[in-house]
Chain A
Amino acid sequence: QSVLTQPPSVSAAPGQKVTISCSGSSSNIGNNYVSWYQQLPGTAPKLLLYDNYKRPSGIPDRFSGSKSGTSATLDITGLQTGDEADYYCGTWDSSLNAGVFGGGTKLTVL
């Protein structure tokens, strides 16, 4: 059971928008920055967003993030078949004094 809760799967058609949620508590998301990762099959994870909404260089603005209270959200617009992957949220948990990840969300682009 992960400390951060994500939906196991989401799906949408090419060109559409999808939202992936990440729910936590005051000891993690509520008081720490959230990052998001994309993991394509058979590859290492890739940082999509950090500090809740900031994009590393090279990440298209189709990927955006936000945080409110103890929840965070990843939005992906203009879906492409190449976006099919597992997506993870992550943050620090001040009570556990440890990093934590969500269980991951599998995105299917229909």
Chain B
Amino acid sequence: QVQLVESGGGVVQPGRSLRLSCSASGFIFGSHGMHWVRQAPGKGLEWVAVIWYDGSDKKFADSVKGRFTISRDNSKNTMFLQLNRLRVEDTAIYYCAREETGMGPSLGYWGQGTLVTVSS
């Protein structure tokens, strides 16, 4: 069965960095684009970034462009989100999700999320 497991969240001070991981299993990881979506406490969903199935292209929300990077290692079935120059407003649950159609975001499988708290 498809499983996505995020890790790497925690409490970090503003301006510092964090690296999130999304470990995938139960499907051919290298055949799917992958997304990060975040949700601030009590707020709605915010799309963060996508990486193409082969890593050849990446897109970012304006709110994180230039601060976050996305990457993947298809040999290890893992995707990463590097969060740099963190701000208080980056506090959120970060979900990784699998793209289903390539016409996305059509996010058919989600992880349980990892909480990032940015606070001094």
Binding site for B on A (CB under 8 A): 2, 32-33, 35, 37, 39, 44-47, 50-51, 56, 86, 88, 90-92, 96-104
Contacts and interface: CB of A to CB of B under 8 A. Distances in A.
Interface string B19-45: 000000000000000010100000011
13 contacts: A33-B106, A37-B107, A44-B95, A44-B110, A45-B45, A51-B101, A98-B61, A98-B62, A99-B37, A99-B105, A101-B37, A101-B47, A103-B44
Contacts, number: 73
Interface in B80-120: 95, 100-101, 103-108, 110-113
A107 B80 CA distance: 34
Contacts of B108: 47, 50, 56
A88 to B, nearest CB: 5
Contacts of A46: 110
Contact of A90 (B45, B110, B111): B45
A44 B105 contact: no
Nearest to B60: A98
Nearest to A35: B106
Contact of A51 (B106, B110, B112): B106
Nearest to B48: A99
Contacts of B44: 2, 86, 88, 101-104
Given A97-B59, A99-B35, A45 B105 contact: no
Given A2-B44, A35-B107, A37-B107, A50 B100 contact: yes
B46 interface: yes
A34 to B, nearest CB: 9
Contact of B103 (A33, A88, A104): A33
B112 A99 contact: no
Nearest to A3: B47
B50 interface: yes
Contacts of B101: 33, 50-51
Nearest to A44: B110
